Amino acid sequence: MEEQIESHLSKYDLDLRKTHNGRFMDQKLTPDNLSFICDCIRNYTESDKSKWFTKKDIWYSQYLEVNVIAIYNKPNPKDPSAKREYDKFVGQPLRLLASAGILEDKKIGLQYHYKIQNYELLDLLALSQMNSLRFLGYYLTKVLSDSGELRYFRSYYDKYVSKILANEDLIELRDRYSCFIRGNTGIRGALEPNRIFNKIFNILAVLWRMPGEKGGKITDYPMIYKDIEYNDINWRDLNKKKDLTRKQSMLLHEAEVKHEKITDYEMIKAKAAIKSRHMLASELHDKLAGGEATQAHHIFPDKVFPQYRSTLENIILLTGSQHNSRAHPSNNTQVVDLDYQRQCLMSKLDSIEQSEKNKDGFYSLVKFIEMLNDIKGYNLRVDSTVNQVKDKLTQA
């Protein structure tokens, strides 16, 4: 995936001193929001990937309505009182995708019209939030580098590594960025650049594993992904309190429910992607592989390992007979045949190997290795070859 992103972005000069694009990033943009809108675009253009669409086409699509209410607990998109919120929620990702060359855009009157320009990359961003996070990292780095500003962010990181970082360094970096934006784009006030800086800075902080910005100050901890999710509840503050108030308990419950809905959505999306990828042909070639493969099976059970329920490398496409007779003997989903589980892992590894050879970014050998190390207790190096992983699975 990284090669695809770099190859795509290398075609564009994103220097803000030339583009004067003040909307290359925006204050409501997060990886999960970007991934979700990409998924909505993919769904809307499913019958015709070349058709033009507008912000309102995505905004009022049935797919967005059903999922945004369930996942983000937002009001109905058709509610007039929610107009301002949805204008940003849908519009800002579209502007970023156009700025990055994933969408083609043209302005007719006061309204932008869009068309997919790089479907493969859009598809990868829609596939998972982590893909969108990685893309944003490459994209923001490219914009800052082309604009001559990346070195100042790197200097900040170097000070953190050298343990000489002070809050004044954050203020200096933020003020410099704000001054640069006001001098090279149509944005003039100081408030908006500071808000956008927060989004850029915290995404890089997650990827560079350094403290981010909160309330205008350096955080006491390196940022993690959960810290930058869209409208996320502050888990850190809630989890550190032993005696939660009723309101705090309700907030924690809401956060847990929201997380469950998001993971359900991500799992459904992952299973659909697996079925589309393998075109209803079983990935495991044994005597039960004949016929349509309709079962997207978790190799490691999602109830036992919920952290991998939407991981593509943990989902394998099987026929009904394979799933009900071998993966779960006698169709008992509480039972896992460990020998067949190993066969599933070997077959999944074949699919991953093909993806790596094609460099299509769909599967990741590194993710597969990390999952095995976590669940099976292996000590495989993340740069292990496919054959080395196969040898380990054979020996285990």
Burial 299-335 (b: 16+ CB within 10 A, else e): bbbbeebeebbbbbbbbbbbbebbbbebbbeeeeeee
Q: Determine the Cα–Cα distance for residues 309 and 286; give it in Å rounded to an integer.
A: 25
Q: Determine the Cα–Cα distance for residues 184 and 18; give it in Å rounded to an integer.
A: 8
Per the CB < 8 A criterion, the answer to whether 266 and 310 are in contact is yes
Q: Determine the Cα–Cα distance for residues 164 and 175; give it in Å rounded to an integer.
A: 19
Q: Determine the Cα–Cα distance for residues 221 and 289; give it in Å rounded to an integer.
A: 50
Q: Is the pLDDT of residue 245 over 70?
A: no
Q: Determine the Cα–Cα distance for residues 362 and 310; give it in Å rounded to an integer.
A: 13
Long-range contacts of the stretch 250-254 (C-beta < 8 A, 24+): 254/73
Q: Is the pLDDT of residue 249 over 90?
A: no
265: tokens are 């959505």
CA angle 254, 256, 257 (to 5 degrees): 65
Q: Is the pLDDT of residue 221 over 80?
A: yes
Residues in the chain: 396
Q: Is the pLDDT of residue 170 over 60?
A: yes
Q: Given pLDDT bands bounded at 50, 70 and 90, which one contains residue 331?
A: confident
Q: Is the pLDDT of residue 235 over 50?
A: no
Q: Is the pLDDT of residue 240 over 80?
A: no
Q: Determine the Cα–Cα distance for residues 165 and 158; give it in Å rounded to an integer.
A: 9
Q: Determine the Cα–Cα distance for residues 91 and 96; give it in Å rounded to an integer.
A: 9
12: tokens are 């564009």
Burial 53-71 (b: 16+ CB within 10 A, else e): bebebbbebeebbebbeeb
Q: What is the pLDDT of residues 132-144, one digit of tens each?
A: 999 999 999 999 9
Q: Given pLDDT bands bounded at 50, 70 and 90, which one contains residue 73?
A: confident
Q: What is the pLDDT of residues 372-389, one digit of tens each?
A: 999 999 999 999 999 999
Per the CB < 8 A criterion, the answer to whether 49 and 116 are in contact is yes
Q: Is the pLDDT of residue 255 over 70?
A: no
CA atoms within 13 A on the CB side of 321: 11
Q: According to the model, what pLDDT value does residue 391 have?
A: 96
Q: Determine the Cα–Cα distance for residues 361 and 141; give it in Å rounded to an integer.
A: 20
Q: Given pLDDT bands bounded at 50, 70 and 90, which one contains residue 17?
A: very high
By percentage, how much of the chain surpasses pLDDT 70? 93
Q: According to the model, what pLDDT value does residue 238 have?
A: 45
Q: Is the pLDDT of residue 275 over 90?
A: yes
Q: Determine the Cα–Cα distance for residues 345 and 313; give it in Å rounded to an integer.
A: 9
